[in-house]
Chains A and B, each alone.
Chain A
């Protein structure tokens, strides 16, 4: 079974802090994704990566950056957290490109920025 893990289930940070969200997958998947999920808005893609050190912006990249130094690990970075970044963050991975393969989601990190 594919396993996608995220470093924290719940996280509370203060405005202006630098925040790191980590995601690890154990199935040698090429593609990894970061989404945020907000009530009534569904899932919105922040960034994705199709290879080590490669990244592409999604629909809402502003205020975020990512890092993929190893194939199994994809990090989401909030350089200076703001209250409007309070949300559920979901990581996903897939072997092939999106739309050609199943996406496997991690359990999510609920981030609260005070």
Chain B
């Protein structure tokens, strides 16, 4: 079945440093979504990528979808303490109705 691997599992950074989390799928994805979950909270939708090679930006966050539509990344520039949380990717292949979530990357920002 479809697998979505997300790395790293944890990332500690000093406030102001950059952060990147990566998702890799065993199959070609029709689209990928990214979610953020604050500690004690629930996942909140950030963005969806659909096109090969797509790049989208939201302020300090940059999302990329690979050319082969098998990988994606989320990059945060100059992290802030408000960025703390777990970031999940979730991908769906064309032949499946069911999405597969990565295991998430927990970002810890030290002031």
Within 8 A of A (CB), among B8-67: 9, 30-31, 33, 41-45, 48
Q: Are B44 and A98 in contact (CB under 8 A)?
A: no
Q: Are A102 and B45 in contact (CB under 8 A)?
A: yes
Chain B, interface residues (CB within 8 Å), range: 20 to 34
Within 8 A of B (CB), among A29-72: 40-45, 48, 56, 58-59
Contacts of A98 in B (CB 8 A): 92, 97-99
Q: Are A103 and B45 in contact (CB under 8 A)?
A: yes
Contacts of B100 in A (CB 8 A): 59
Residue of A nearest to B91 (CB): A99
Q: Chain B contact residues: over half helix, strand or loop, or mixed?
A: strand
Q: Are A40 and B99 in contact (CB under 8 A)?
A: no
Q: Chain A contact residues: over half helix, strand or loop, or mixed?
A: loop
B10 to chain A, nearest CB (A): 10
Determine whether B104 belongs to the interface, using a CB cutoff of 8 Å to chain A: yes
Q: How far is the CA of A48 from the CA of B92 in the complex (A)?
A: 15
Among B42, B97, B102: residue with most chain A CB under 10 A: B42
Q: Are A56 and B97 in contact (CB under 8 A)?
A: yes
28 contacts between A and B (CB under 8 A): A40-B103, A43-B43, A43-B101, A44-B101, A45-B98, A45-B99, A56-B97, A56-B98, A58-B98, A90-B42, A92-B43, A97-B97, A98-B92, A98-B97, A99-B30, A99-B31, A99-B92, A100-B31, A102-B33, A102-B45, A102-B48, A103-B43, A103-B45, A105-B42, A105-B43, A105-B44, A107-B41, A108-B42
